[in-house]
A and B are shown apart, each in its own frame.
Chain A
């Protein structure tokens, strides 16, 4: 079978591949892979567009300057990579309401979009408070044996599992 057209690969192959990408990030760019600071930077760029240069004076944006950087390009690359993968495997399709959501909340698109917006808001806020996300803490940080990252990884999943069991699991 042609591996480029098979929809799902072994999770061990995928995981090992992601591990190798971590090596490449360190080796070629001296960077640890992560995604959530790109959101903070983009948010700052959007705010700068609306409110002008005074946004730069916000202390948080002095730490994370609103500009396109290595990690921002990485996140952009993810969109393109996933698009290429799903086109090659034939799994690309327009999805308005995912199946597991529909099983619990029905097929209303507005409800799903609102849920995604609220979920995203919590994710964006929580990631910045915790200092990283599933990739920055969960994969890169844990691989570097950072104590805070292992703690973050644990609490991402504690919060996620409990919430999922309550809202989709009917507990």
Chain B
């Protein structure tokens, strides 16, 4: 059996086990309900506001619940295997520890992919329903104005058509795909950090808490970096502290491009591609380090 086959089998097994976990299912269910409830944003002045709120809220829910799933799902992987002693059975077979770890991580990636896919589907349905909801009265008004053919009807018709085009443009913004990809990348990277920590952690809670701290500090890292780079002659204690923070903790703000996409900025695929490339390198490094530590770990 080839190495890749072994990795895929472990991944499939991990996915099946993860899908049976009640916590993850409940998280997924909550996320779907949260996204569906974004449809309730209907009391704002402009349609573009409502669509922005729906997108922000839905993708925010996707981020939060995805983060929780990545954290809980990954942190539980190794402790569960150790607790159930299944890891001994698996590693007694001709399965390398690296294959075991990679298979586990791949399973989590697929799980997160399925979850993000489901959430995206609900999100797309919400956007479609909202679009129809908004366009309905506009179409009726347009038909009315066309039938009346008053002195200013040309301007009114053009204004309405422009509004309808704007609604369609906002509702069907293809850039949202980039935002969803970035959210997925952030979750995958968080999972890789959790995987790295779980290779030497003594408990699941330690993994969850430490990864979450790194996630939070990662959002402050850019502030620390700017301070560190702009004041090379500052207090040496502060400099060392900031330096360690900047060099070790990943900058999670790199994924904040999502906000700019949702705010309607022109974001190119090259920008998103660069962040995805950084994510791949980051994940590769953290997985590599996980393998190094797990190889030497006494089980």
Query: Is chain B found bound to chain A in the same assembly?
Result: no
Residues of B that sit less than 8 Å from A by CB: none
